[in-house]
Chains A and B, each alone.
Chain A
Amino acid sequence: MATLNLVQAINLALIQEMEKDDRVLLMGEDIGLNGGVFRVTEGLQARFGKERVVDTPLAESGIIGTAIGLAMAGLRPIPEIQFEGFLGPAYDQICSHAARMRSRTRGAFTVPLTIRVPVGGGIHAPELHSDSPEAIYAHTPGLKVVMPSSPYDAKGLLISAIRDPDPVIYFEPKRIYRAFREEVPEDEYTLPIGKARTVSEGNELTIVSWGASVVQCMQAIENSGRDIELIDLRTIYPFDIDAVEASVSKTGRCVVVHEAPLTCGFGAEISARIMERCFLHLEAPVQRVAGFDTTMPYYKLELDYLPDAARVGRAIEDCLAY
């Protein structure tokens, strides 16, 4: 079994799905010879040719709009949007067409499409290269939204996304692209979309998080020395409310952690669901540790903005002390 980082795990998943299914093709800006700005598609054009790893014009709406056409024709396009900050021009195609096609045609046309998007802050990037817009797309019926937090999960979730008959936005937390390695099986495997992973078990408090924040949460739990359960959502929509309910019903306390702004962040939805499902089990109000309702600051202040182990630690203390 190979020890891979998240970039390598995604690269491996792409290779395996492209070898297995000739309907799969990659498209995006700089993904061919250059291998993508994060090198996620490194070597794939040389391996599969220019017809299957396509350098497109520099136009995000064009990338998603043509990918929708490819998918409607029965192919399995995997467009890459270079950074989440460039999703804006593609928003119309994603939300007005990809998300609605199955519904508005009552299943006559479908869009089996996987949109890969590097997401989140913490890499000293220029502006519009560090945001976390997952809640916008979770709020758009018809889409599925996935965000892995480890190389193992990245491979299994990506293969599931590619094979999914509906449009999936696959967010790749760029902060942990190369942060650590773990064992990733060579053999293909899938992880179900919509199922959370219990990272660590505990009885005093539940933390729910996803993406790069999971790593901060692990650090916070270690620092706290408390008996804390950590749930990595893995999928933002449809999200695994049952896993959250089971854990919070057990612990009675919950902290939700995400990089995206607080107001209408996905933590708000989780908090509301916990109210509905676990009200009589709660020992404390649900705490949220999130980005602020500010523009994501340039990188000099980005660590001030991003939830870190210390902020998560304070929320743990507050929640346990309530």
Chain B
Amino acid sequence: MPITTAYKTEIQRVSILDEHGNFDEKLGKDLIPDADLVRLYEAMVTCRVLDEIAFKLQRSGRMGTYPQNMGQEAPSLGASYVLNKDDWIVTCYRENCGLFWRGVPMESILLHWMGDERGNAMPREHFATPIAVPIGTQMLHATGLAWASKYRGEKRISCTFFGDGASSEGDFHEACNFAANLEIPVVFVCQNNFWAISSPGKVNCSAPTLAQRALAYGMPTIQVDGNDLFAVVKVMRDAAAWTREHGKPHFVEAVTYRLGDHTTADDARRYRDQAEVELWKTRDPITRIYDYMKSRKLWDDSKEATTRERAAVNANAAVATAEGIAEPHRQDYFNAMYAELPADLATQLATHNTHSLGQTEEAAHVATEALAKAHASHH
């Protein structure tokens, strides 16, 4: 028997509530209590409303470039819902909904995109790291954070988010490899939204699923309908529990879709068909829950109106807070460089308006006098 099977597996995909309203009673029953579902729904609506406001703020010049989260509310929210409050959540920039559920103030995210570092000053109690802009790099930080938990004998795990494009980055593979080989408890959540700016899936991955990339690292992996909050909650709950119990990583591919442009600086009409976008609008995670709640008589027009109104009030309050923050000071960016401001940097700060960079007041004075003397002798 010269040829045998060295390894064989399959990738499971979990769906509980599909876009047609079909609900898998076996998997979905008692998964999310009704009262929680109402709250989760409101969280998604609020995130969406804020997203729309943020888009308009950018268009009217009140905010810089902003990456819309529209359509991708469910994966991070489902994760935040099932994780412990002191598990690390390590995100890139399409996880607003999960961060808000964790307690990160909405104005923090707005401030980040309004060009203000104070938006990244995440209070430690949220166990959330600031938005990571380079692609995939945060996966290693998540691994290090969970490694620290393991080192200290704590049960805290990390959950990190990244996109399909990130699965091309070296750091993706290094993070998976470190976590698997050193046995570090991380849940890696790939939000496969089909587009890395203008690159379609095929540019970044030739395998039928992104989930199977994890097989190469010997870690359990699963695919989930990322627009199905029920399925996300189930998969994330199972993955987090497995990770916590075994002290090893688990991979989740959440299949979702970026309904908006990559950022406000992008125009997706240049590279993708509107028909595709229209199709995915029918799979919207928010309308799916709305229809489900209505069919179960949990929801009506009056509740919907109240929820939308409250979301608008909260989102606008966050905008007001973000826009109302005191102007940052010059010394803020100097003082934040090191625990203690190096003397030379202090000189640069002190002489910012008065003299050439790097010169002390005294040296500048000597130089000015010398220059005056030189001029005098010249004439």
Name A residues whose Cβ lies closer than 8 Å to a Cβ of B: 25, 51, 54, 56-57, 59, 61-62, 64-75, 77, 89, 92-93, 96-97, 102-110, 141-142, 144, 164-166, 194, 238-239, 241-242, 273, 276-277, 279-280
- Inter-chain CA distance A51–B338, complex, in Å, is 30
How big is chain B's contact interface, by range?
Answer: 35 or more
A107 touching B121, Cβ below 8 Å: yes
Q: Can you give 27 A-B contacts (C-beta < 8 A)?
A: A54-B182, A62-B174, A62-B178, A65-B141, A65-B144, A65-B175, A66-B143, A66-B147, A66-B175, A70-B147, A72-B141, A73-B149, A75-B148, A97-B132, A102-B337, A104-B117, A105-B121, A106-B332, A109-B130, A110-B339, A142-B337, A142-B338, A165-B339, A238-B344, A276-B358, A276-B363, A280-B370
Q: A25-B151, A97-B134, A277-B360 are in contact. List 15 more A-B contacts (CB 8 A).
A: A59-B177, A61-B140, A62-B143, A62-B177, A68-B140, A69-B142, A72-B141, A73-B149, A75-B151, A107-B121, A166-B338, A166-B339, A194-B342, A238-B343, A238-B345
- Inter-chain CA distance A278–B109, complex, in Å, is 48
Verify if B181 is at the interface (C-beta below 8 Å from A): yes
B129 touching A65, Cβ below 8 Å: no
A289 → B minimal CB distance (Å) = 24
Question: Which listed residue (A51, A102, A194, A273) contacts B336, Cβ 8 A?
Answer: A102
B contact patch SS: helix
- Inter-chain CA distance A278–B356, complex, in Å, is 15
Q: A108-B120, A276-B359 are in contact. Are A93 and B337 (CB under 8 A)?
A: no
Question: Which listed residue (A70, A108, A194) contacts B148, Cβ 8 A?
Answer: A70
A280 → B minimal CB distance (Å) = 6
Chain B residues within an 8 Å CB radius of A279: 367, 370
B90 → A minimal CB distance (Å) = 8
Which residue of A has the minimal Cβ distance to B160? Answer: A69
Chain A residues within an 8 Å CB radius of B103: none
- Inter-chain CA distance A70–B132, complex, in Å, is 17
- Inter-chain CA distance A241–B148, complex, in Å, is 38
A60 → B minimal CB distance (Å) = 9
A196 → B minimal CB distance (Å) = 13
Verify if B215 is at the interface (C-beta below 8 Å from A): no
Chain A residues within an 8 Å CB radius of B345: 238
- List B residues 324-374 near A (Cβ within 8 Å): 332-333, 336-339, 342-345, 356, 358-360, 363, 366-367, 370
Chain B residues within an 8 Å CB radius of A141: 337
